[in-house]
């Protein structure tokens, strides 16, 4: 996916616009568009998005935009995203041991 994305970008000469700062801003704008799909909706309405074909497609498109910008951010910063995610999951496992946090939303420093 990363290679296809970079090829897409390079074929359009868009790397010139892809400073790390610009990519992070764009990532957050896309995340806001994902959030906008839930604005003023109840939890039940948000949960129903996946069952409606048009809403599901909009949700899918916004998720994809967030994912693609995240890949570009990671690439620009030299981050192996899968490795970073594995390491972060390990850190979270230490901060949130099952025996202390099972079924709880308490922040780790209050466990």
Q: 55 pLDDT band (50/70/90 cuts)? A: very high
Mean pLDDT of the chain: 97
**Model confidence over 35-48: pLDDT tens digits?**
999 999 999 999 99
CA–CA separation, 106 vs 100, rounded Å? Answer: 10
CATH of the domain at 65: 1.10.287.1080
89 and 51 co-located in one domain: no
| Residues 72 and 28 reside in one and the same domain | yes
pTM score, two decimals?
0.90
Query: 59 and 20: one domain?
Result: yes
> For residue 87, what are the domain limits?
80-111
Same domain, 61 and 42: yes
Task: Identify the pLDDT of residue 92.
Answer: 96
Domain match, 46 and 71 both: yes
Q: Smallest Cα–Cα separation from 17: which of 81, 76, 62?
A: 76
Number of domains making up the chain: 2
| Residue 107 CB coordination number (10 Å) | 10
Q: What is the pLDDT of residues 12-42, one digit of tens each?
A: 999 999 999 999 999 999 999 999 999 999 9
Handedness of CA 19, 20, 26, 30 (dihedral sign): positive
Q: DSSP assignment of 31-50, as one string?
A: HHHHHHTTTT--HHHHHHGG
């Amino acid at each position: 996916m990363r290679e296809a994305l970079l090829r897409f970008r390079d074929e359009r000469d868009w790397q010139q616009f892809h400073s790390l700062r610009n990519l992070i801003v764009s990532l957050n704008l896309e995340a806001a568009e994902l959030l906008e799909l839930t604005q003023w909706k109840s939890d039940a309405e948000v949960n129903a998005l996946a069952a409606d074909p048009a809403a599901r497609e909009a949700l899918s498109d916004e998720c994809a935009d967030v994912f693609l910008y995240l890949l570009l951010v990671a690439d620009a910063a030299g981050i192996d995203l899968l490795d970073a995610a594995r390491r972060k999951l390990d850190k979270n496992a230490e901060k949130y041991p099952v025996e202390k946090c099972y079924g709880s939303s308490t922040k780790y420093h209050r466990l």
